Amino acid sequence: MHVPDGFIDAPVSVAAGVVAAAAVAVSLRGARRELDERTAPLAGLVAAFIFAVQMLNFPVAAGTSGHLLGGALAAILVGPYTGVLCVSVVLLMQGVLFADGGLTALGVNITVMGVVTVVVAHLLFRGLLKVLPGSRRSVTVAAFAGALLSVPAAAAAFTAVYAVGGTTDVPIGKVLTAMVGVHVLIGIGEAVITAATVGAVIAVRPDLVHGARGLASPLKLRVGGELVDAPAAAPAPAAARSTKKVWATGLATALVLAGLVSAYASASPDGLEKVAADKGIDAKADQYEHATAGSPLADYAVKDVENESLSTGLAGVIGVAGTVAVGSGIFWVVRRRRADEPAATPASTPVG
C-alpha cells in the first residue's frame, strides 16, 4: 500500500507529514517506557523482519497481490509506540534506498501504514484480551483479529486522505469500496502471518512479547488424580535470559525470506496499485519521477546484476542488513536516553 508521488497534492502531503512527524515524536518518547536492555535490540530485528516479509507479495485475487503492512505485528511484539517507529524505519529505508513509496508521500505512508495500523490493532488486541481467557492462545487469537482489521482500516484511511487531497477527480465511494474490499482479503494474509509469528515467539520466549506481558500459564502437576498449579518458581534475572539465540534466529529468518523466498513473490500489482489503475487514481502519477529512481537498489534490484533472482535476493539482504542496523541504532539511542534520565526524587517532607 505504498503511496507513490503524485497521488496526493502538496498541501495534504505536507499536512500528513506534520501528523507523521508528531506521531514519531510522541512514539520516541513513549518507546522509552517500552524498551529495556533485552527488547531494544529486538525492536531493530522486528523492523528488519517486517522489511523482509513486505517483499513477499502473495496473491489475493485475480491479478492482485498483497503484502504485510506490519503495524499489528510490531505493536504486539514490541509495543505500540515502538511499533510506530519500526514501521517508520522500514518505510524510510524503502523510500530512500529502493524508491518504494514516494518521498513526498512519506508522511502519508507513515500515517496510514504505521500509525493507523498500530493504533487499530493495538486497541482491538487489548480489548479482546480483557474478555478472552488469560492464555497464550488468547494472545494469538487477539493478534489475528487485530491484524485482520488493521489492513482495511488503513485502506479506509488512505481513501479519506485521497478524498481531501487526491490529484484526480474520481468517485470516492467507489474507491472506498474497492480499497476496503481488496484489503479485507489482504488482511487475512496479514492476520495469518502476524498470528503465526506471535505464536512462534510466545512458544519459546513469551517474556519477549510485549502483548503477553503479565501472562503466566502455571505449570500443572497431577496430585491424587487432579491437576493443581505447581509452586511458582522465582523469575530468572533479566541478564540470565539471553536474547542472542532469538535475535540470531530472527535475523537468519529475515535474511532467508528476503534473500531467497522473495524470488517467488507474486509479480501482480498490490491492492493500491490495482485500485489506482482501475479507478484512475494514478492518472497523474506518471508526471512524477521518484527522487531516488536512480538508486543502485531501486525497485529491489541491484544495479548491473543481470540475474533477476540474484539481483532481488541481494537487494533484500542489503535491505535487511541496513534496516536492522538503522533500527537497532535508533532504539539503542532511545533506550540510552531512558537510562540517562534522572530518577524522580520524592518530595521532601517538611519538618515541624
> What tens digit of pLDDT does each residue of 119-170 get?
999 999 999 999 999 899 999 999 999 999 999 999 999 999 999 999 999 9
226: three-class secondary structure by DSSP = strand
**pLDDT tens profile 173-213:** 999 999 999 999 999 999 999 999 999 999 999 989 999 98
Of 80-84, 217-221, 253-257, 344-348, the poorest mean pLDDT is in 344-348
Rounded-to-integer distance, Cα 116 and Cα 74, Å: 13
What's the confidence (pLDDT) of residue 343? 52
What's the confidence (pLDDT) of residue 231? 55
Assigned domain for 231 exists:
no
Assigned domain for 107 exists:
yes
Q: How far is CA 113 from CA 116, 203, 304, 337, in A?
A: 6, 28, 32, 27
Place 336 in a pLDDT band, splitting at 50, 70 and 90.
Answer: confident
Amino acid at 21: A
pTM value > 0.85? yes
Rounded-to-integer distance, Cα 243 and Cα 110, Å: 29
What's the confidence (pLDDT) of residue 285? 76
Assigned domain for 226 exists:
no
Please tell me which residue, 143 or 245, carries the higher pLDDT value. Answer: 143
Assigned domain for 230 exists:
no
Residue 134 has what DSSP assignment?
S
Rounded-to-integer distance, Cα 14 and Cα 60, Å: 33
What residues contact residue 129 under an 8 Å CB cut-off, 6+ apart? 138, 139, 142, 211
Rounded-to-integer distance, Cα 179 and Cα 304, Å: 36
Rounded-to-integer distance, Cα 114 and Cα 85, Å: 8
What's the confidence (pLDDT) of residue 268? 94
Rounded-to-integer distance, Cα 6 and Cα 271, Å: 17
**pLDDT tens profile 6-65:** 999 999 999 999 999 999 999 999 999 999 888 888 999 999 999 999 999 999 987 899
Helices (H), 166-206: 172-204
Task: Give the residue carrying C-alpha cell 500509525.
Answer: 115
Say if CB 323 and CB 89 are below 8 A apart.
Answer: yes
Assigned domain for 345 exists:
no
Rounded-to-integer distance, Cα 149 and Cα 177, Å: 15
Say if CB 70 and CB 191 are below 8 A apart.
Answer: no
**pLDDT tens profile 74-121:** 999 999 999 999 999 999 999 999 999 999 999 999 999 999 999 999
Assigned domain for 273 exists:
yes
Other CB atoms within a 10 A radius of the CB of residue 6 amount to: 21
Helices (H), 99-135: 106-109, 117-131
Rounded-to-integer distance, Cα 275 and Cα 65, Å: 11
Q: Domain containing 100 — which CATH number? A: 1.10.1760.20
Place 350 in a pLDDT band, splitting at 50, 70 and 90.
Answer: very low
Assigned domain for 213 exists:
yes
Of 153-157, 248-252, 288-292, the poorest mean pLDDT is in 288-292
Rounded-to-integer distance, Cα 44 and Cα 82, Å: 10
Cα distance from N-terminal residue to C-terminal residue, the chain: 66
Which residue in 51, 19, 26, 13 sits closest to 328, CA to CA? 51
Res. 346: pLDDT tops 50? no
> Residue 167: which domain range?
10-217+243-335
Number of structural domains the chain divides into: 1
The count of residues in the chain is 352
Say if CB 297 and CB 303 are below 8 A apart.
Answer: yes
329: three-class secondary structure by DSSP = helix
